[in-house]
Amino acid sequence: MGILTSQKISAYYELFKSIDVSYSKEIMQVTGLITKQVFLKCASDFWPCVISSSSFQGAKVLVSIKSGILQKLERANNMVSLKFCFKVADKGDPLSFFVTTKSSGYVPYQGSEDMALFTLQFTQRPPDDLIEIMGRILDANVNSKKRKDERILITPDSSRKLNIGKESAVLIDNLPRHCILRDISFSGARIIMMGVAKFLVNKEAFLKMDFEEPRDTFLLRGNLITAEQVEGRKELISLELQYDENIVPMGYKIRINDYLSQIRPDGRGSENVIEKKPAQPAPPVKKPTAPTAAKPAAPAAQPAAAKPACGARRAASGSQTIDNGVAVPRRDCVQRAAGEQSRRFQTTLLRFGKVEKSPVVFLAVPEFLYNDIHRLSDSFKLDPSILLPVELDAGEDTLKAENLSLEMILSGMLRIISACGGYDTLVISEPAMKNIPLEWIDYYRRFVLTVKPEIFHEFTGASIVKAENGEFEMALEISAVLEGLFPGSPGVLLNKALILESAAAELEKNGHAAERENALALEAYETALAQEPVFPDALFNAAFFFTRRRDFARTKDCFSRYVKLAEESEIPLEISAEFSDEKIGEAKKILLEIGGLDDSGFREAYDLINRGEDEKALLKIRDYIERHPKVWNGWFLLGWALRKQGRYKDGLESFKKALELGGGGSDLKNETAICLMELGDFKAAKKELEQALRETSNDIKIISNLGVLALKSGDRDSAASYFRTVLSLDPEDEIAKQFLE
Identify the pLDDT of residue 597: 66
Among 284, 283, 699, 285, which residue's Cα sits nearest to residue 469? 285
Domains and CATH numbers, the chain: 6-126 (2.40.10), 147-275 (2.40.10.220), 597-740 (1.25.40.10)
Among 96, 54, 457, which residue's Cα sits nearest to residue 292? 457
Identify the pLDDT of residue 297: 31
3-state helix, strand, coil split of the chain in percent (to 5) is 50, 20, 35
**H-type helices in 98-249, by residue range?**
128-146, 156-162
Helix (H) or strand (E) holding 731: none
Tell me how far apart the alpha carbons of residues 188 and 207 are, in angstroms, rounded to a whole number: 10
Tell me how far apart the alpha carbons of residues 99 and 168 are, in angstroms, rounded to a whole number: 42
For the chain of 741 residues, list the mean pLDDT of each consecutive stretch of 10.
71 89 90 90 87 94 88 91 87 86 91 89 93 92 89 86 84 79 92 82 89 86 88 79 91 90 54 46 33 30 31 31 28 27 41 56 82 68 87 72 80 80 44 68 87 81 79 86 84 89 82 83 89 88 87 86 86 70 85 70 81 86 85 88 92 91 86 93 92 79 90 89 83 81 73
Tell me how far apart the alpha carbons of residues 154 and 211 are, in angstroms, rounded to a whole number: 13
Identify the pLDDT of residue 457: 77
Tell me how far apart the alpha carbons of residues 225 and 299 are, in angstroms, rounded to a whole number: 49
φ, ψ dihedrals at 581, nearest 5°? -60, -40
Instruction: Compute the residue count for the chain.
Output: 741
- Provide the sign of the torsion angle of the four alpha carbons 271, 276, 280, 285, taken in this order: positive
Identify the pLDDT of residue 553: 82
Identify the pLDDT of residue 2: 53
Alpha-carbon distance values, 655 to 256, 605, 621, 632 (Å): 48, 16, 14, 9
Tell me how far apart the alpha carbons of residues 528 and 518 are, in angstroms, rounded to a whole number: 15
Identify the pLDDT of residue 38: 92
- Who's near 720: CB < 8 A, 6+ residues apart? 707, 739, 740
pTM for this model (two decimals): 0.45
**387: alpha, beta or left? (left if phi > 0; alpha if psi -120 to 50):** beta
- Who's near 539: CB < 8 A, 6+ residues apart? 529, 558, 559, 561, 562, 565
